[in-house]
Amino acid sequence: MIFENNLIEDKFGEECGVFGMYDFDGTDVAGSIYYGLFALQHRGQESCGIAVSDTEGPKNNFKCYKDMGLLNEAFSPDLINGLKGNIGVGHVRYSTAGSSVRENAQPLVINYVKGILGLAHNGNLINANELREELAYTGAIFQTTIDSEVVAYLIARERLYSTSVEQAVKLTMRKIKGAYSLVVMSPRKLIGARDPYGFRPLCIGKRDNAYILASETCALDTIGAEYVRDVLPGEVVTISPEKGIESDTSMCLEPEKQARCIFEYIYFARPDSYIDGMSVYQSRMLAGKYLAIDSPVEADMVVGVPESGNVAAMGYASESGLPYAQAFVKNGYVGRTFIKPGQKSRESSVRVKLNALKEVVKDKRIIMIDDSIVRGTTSDRIVRMLREAGAKEVHMRVSSPPFLYPCYFGTDVPAREQLIAYNRSIEEIRQVIGADSLGYLKEERLHQIANELGICKGCFTGQYPLEPPKDDIRGEFDK
């Protein structure tokens, strides 16, 4: 896999990205879905896919193509032109549970007695294994190892006894536990659903006589659509030509119980996106500002580790009055095949992807901002890189608190034993990475950078919004 949004592999991987579109005028949507997914490519680079259907045709009429790799590797103009249909769903994947193989690519398409069901899912279920076993004992045959297939089967099964597909989605939501944003395509409807805690984002857009569901608002901008609103945590929205946007909020929790993943603001989402009304760019600027207030240090300039540390670095510089500078040059042409799984490649690839600008850092005291330190296996190499380029001092500031616990909801924070902050003080971490000083964002600042919205802080505090599973269901997190 490639880490396009983050050049250093000592990080958790991106989320998945989902996109759905329904053009009431009958215009083909595959091209727009492709470009919408392109805007979400930072959320997953392992596999991608698009499924479309013609709402004027027979109910079992659909076309789907998916493959490993990036969108521009998997799709050609001829492939896009061959995907004829005015309703469709698309997906870019980073594996959180299930192997990174073509069979696990999304969207998933099920052809059953009620027609077709196309599904794209972003998130991670904590009871997927239990539900899979239950379904298997009642005759379900699974083609993949991903929890998204469990969701698709449950919706299809509930639909047999429900008055509508949206009712089937709602009944499924009562059974599944964990993080999910769903985009579901039925023969005549496009449905979006978000888990009651709001872990994963989902928004609604409109362009002419077409409606869109997308993980981030930046995907709407890319295809020239206007932002309508966010799907509420726990809400099911149904889009159809007859009724436009219908809403069911019966599964919604009180705002104080909601638990958005804070890393959507710190790292996952693109800076030009808005999530639940809060600018991601502004969140990162605030994180940098609060670092400058809470962890000041005498220095000559502030730099960011590309790309995810740059905006927080600008916030630190603005608050501190120090100049902001670009200290690193990144190689944007490192291909997918360069990175191999495993610790050794994490430790060897830094200089291939990143290099320090000697002219900028020589004889300077540097404050270096990054969004997180997970294992710490590359932070020391970046610090050393700056010193070898002539920096007199390197002070590291991190725009999140220390990781102390794993995540079970779709962010591949590894087992505690692999976390550099586990059983280490901040001073001990500083010694490991070789910085002159080290400061983290204070936990109490997290609500401020998320506009006081309900957030999940489980990876920092061990206090999860719902009971984590007793067994480790985190798939490939510990690779």
Is there a catalytic annotation at residue 16? yes
CB 126 within 8 A of CB 409: yes
SS3 state of residue 341: coil
Burial of 406 from C-beta contacts in 10 A (0-12 / 13-18 / 19+): buried
The DSSP secondary structure of 278-311, one letter per residue, reads: EEHHHHHHHHHHHHHHHS----SEEEE-TBTTHH
Integer angstrom CA distances of residue 68 from 45, 46, 72, 98, 326? 8, 6, 11, 14, 34
* Matching residue, tokens 């998945």: 16
CA angle centred on 456, ends 7 and 200, rounded to 5°:
65
CA angle centred on 437, ends 306 and 4, rounded to 5°:
15
Distance CA 61, CA 108 (A): 15
* Set 16, 64, 252, 407: catalytic member: 16
Q: Which of 225, 143, 174 is nearest to 153 (CA)?
A: 143
Burial of 470 from C-beta contacts in 10 A (0-12 / 13-18 / 19+): exposed
* Matching residue, tokens 């400058």: 292
Size of the chain, expressed as the number of residues it contains? 479
For residue 232, the number of C-alpha atoms closer than 13 Å in the C-beta half-sphere is 15
Where in the sequence numbering do the catalytic residues fall?
16
